[in-house]
Amino acid sequence: MTARLEIVVLAAGQGTRMKSDLPKVLHPLAGRPLLAHVIATAQALAPVRTHVVYGHGGERVLTQFPDAPVTWTEQAERLGTGHAVMQAMPGVADDAVVLVLYGDVPLVPAAVLEPLVAEASGGALAILTVDLADPKGYGRILRDGQGTVLGIVEEKDASPEQRQIREGNTGILAAPAASLRAWLGALKNTNAQGEYYLTDVVAMAVAEGLPVRAHRAANEDDVLGVNDKLQLAHLERVFQRRQAEALMRAGVTLMDPTRFDLRGTVECGRDVLIDVGVVMEGHVKLGDGVTVGANCYLRDVELGPGTQLRPMSVLEEALVGPDCRIGPFARLRPGTVLAGHAHVGNFVELKNAQVGEGSKVNHLSYVGDTVMGRDVNVGAGTITCNYDGANKHRTVIGHRVFIGSDTQLIAPVQVGDDATIGAGSTVTRDAPAGELTLSRTPQKSIAGWKRPVKQPKTAG
């Protein structure tokens, strides 16, 4: 039976190698802070409490996680990993099992951690190790001839022979709380760093005859930490590759899985195709048969079945019905709702606009704060002038309206069903249903007028 689990997440590091004013654990991975990934993994293990030890940039860290299901503990002086865990231990019950995680190690699956918790529930000290092609920077696992773990030596304290060991310490461990508390109280800082190493508890457990169980992580990427922007970029690609592979297994066609970024969640129907360079954030839902063209950006968007999103389009907080055609180079801003079979073409921007069934806004237009009926045709260069400098006003366009090119609709204004607006008009009053409305300056030609001619330049 698994004992009461309490998790301690160490998130106090400054991250000097990131060369950034942003605390290391707040750097984004797939659109979420590194620490958010670790907290999510912790919650997947159903602990009774998760303690996060913070330090550098503490106020910014706390502000970023106002509703996180964690207990915050400050490490005012950063004196090593052992010292960091000490800060959380006053809030940990003696009958608990403690699992130590790191705020800059974001990709450890819960399934990799469960065996550690089970071992510690049985009274052992459990550590997570990994075989590394290049173990530089990692503490090395020391074993005897029979393979029994004897201790961990940090790289700066290791001999040349010990540095040849490729089994590295991930830092992640689980232990009975009472034992861990006693070991932490006995830590010394007599080492090259002058810090209290959490890894020293391994040798203490061995000296007491307590079993030390080392579990090797099968995948190096699962346990990699982030110390600089290169490592952050590597883990970003690892994470994105895993998401892309999961989508393809579910039946989604990705034209190039290495050129796809999901920084949130996506639901996909059958026969969805996503071209290269697509970025998705928030929650995106794609119906059956949806096609997303190259280099599109979607945030909190739903596309109905059969809709085609053509290249270079940007959609944010928009709801799109079935069999619509959008783009290329279209922008749907928050509050946009398209009914089925609507068309939004190149260089068209919609904002807080409802577009009815079968309506078309195909070229170079801006439609904002508008309710548009079905089967409307909006000509090129049309704009709704909805902002008077202080307030937004609404434009209402009925069914089957034809709006000629280069028209300005000065809100608040209504255009009745079956109305026609002549090209080049500025509409300032309601346009009646079924009628032609236009406003134009009379055209005239001036006989004998001559275009100015440039005078030739004189020499010299």
Residue 190 pLDDT > 50: yes
**How much is the mean pLDDT over the chain?**
95
Q: Which pLDDT score is estimated for 193?
A: 85
403, 423 in Cβ contact below 8 A? Answer: no
Residue 458 pLDDT > 90: no
* pLDDT tens digit sequence for 33-68: 999 999 999 999 999 999 999 997 888 999 999 999
Distance of alpha carbon 361 from alpha carbon 231, whole angstroms: 45
What is the sign of the dihedral through the CA atoms of 67, 73, 77 and 80?
A: negative
For 332-341, the CB contacts below 8 A with 24+ separation are 332/301, 333/368, 339/374, 340/304
- CA 133-136-137 angle, to 5 degrees, is 135
What share of the chain has pLDDT > 70, as a percent? 99
- Two tokens at 233? 């970029």
- Two tokens at 329? 């180079």
Q: What are phi and psi of 32, to 5 degrees?
A: -125, 150
Average pLDDT over residues 444-448: 93
H/E/C letters for each residue in 354-411? EECCCCEEEECCEEEEEEECCCCEECCCCEEECECCCCECCEEECCCCEECCCCEEEC
Q: Which pLDDT score is estimated for 1?
A: 46
**Longest CA–CA separation in the chain, Å:** 110
Average pLDDT over residues 160-170: 93
Other C-beta atoms closer than 10 Å to the C-beta of 108 total: 23
Which DSSP letter does residue 226 get?
-
- Two tokens at 397? 């366009």
Distance of alpha carbon 300 from alpha carbon 258, whole angstroms: 22
With H, G, I as helix, E, B as strand and everything else as coil, classify residue 80: coil
Average pLDDT over residues 164-188: 95
Q: Which fold has domain 244-437?
A: UDP N-Acetylglucosamine Acyltransferase; domain 1 (2.160.10)
Alpha-carbon distances of 102 from 53, 129, 240, 284, rounded to whole Å: 10, 14, 21, 30
**Predicted confidence band at 460 (pLDDT cuts at 50, 70, 90)?**
low
**Annotated catalytic residue: which of 56, 234, 283, 363?**
363
Q: What are phi and psi of 183, to 5 degrees?
A: -65, -40
Residue 2 pLDDT > 90: no
Alpha-carbon distances of 351 from 293, 355, 390, 394, rounded to whole Å: 21, 11, 17, 11
- Two tokens at 444? 């005239």
Please name the helix (run of DSSP H) or strand (run of DSSP E) that holds residue 292, with its range, or none: strand 291-292
Nearest Cα neighbor of 321 from 333, 309, 300, 307 is 307
Other C-beta atoms closer than 10 Å to the C-beta of 218 total: 10
Residue 262 pLDDT > 50: yes
Asked if 27 is an active-site residue, the reply is no
152, 169 in Cβ contact below 8 A? Answer: yes
Q: What are phi and psi of 382, to 5 degrees?
A: -80, 140
Interhelix angle 110-121/34-44, nearest 10 degrees: 50
Q: Domain ranges for the chain, please list them.
A: 5-223, 244-437
Give the type of residue at 63.
Answer: T
End-to-end CA distance of the chain: 101
Q: Which fold has domain 5-223?
A: Spore Coat Polysaccharide Biosynthesis Protein SpsA; Chain A (3.90.550)
Which DSSP letter does residue 134 get?
S
Distance of alpha carbon 369 from alpha carbon 396, whole angstroms: 9
* pLDDT tens digit sequence for 130-144: 999 888 888 999 999
Distance of alpha carbon 159 from alpha carbon 142, whole angstroms: 12
Nearest Cα neighbor of 351 from 298, 312, 315 is 315
Average pLDDT over residues 277-299: 98
Q: Which pLDDT score is estimated for 191?
A: 85
With H, G, I as helix, E, B as strand and everything else as coil, classify residue 244: helix
- Residues for the chain: how many in total? 460
Alpha-carbon distances of 142 from 22, 50, 67, 213, 443, rounded to whole Å: 36, 30, 41, 13, 93
Which residue has 């045709």 as its token pair? 377
190, 242 in Cβ contact below 8 A? Answer: no
Nearest Cα neighbor of 85 from 52, 121, 118, 134 is 52
What is the sign of the dihedral through the CA atoms of 205, 206, 210 and 212?
A: positive
Average pLDDT over residues 118-125: 95
User: Mean pLDDT: which of 129-133, 168-172, 297-301 is highest?
Assistant: 297-301
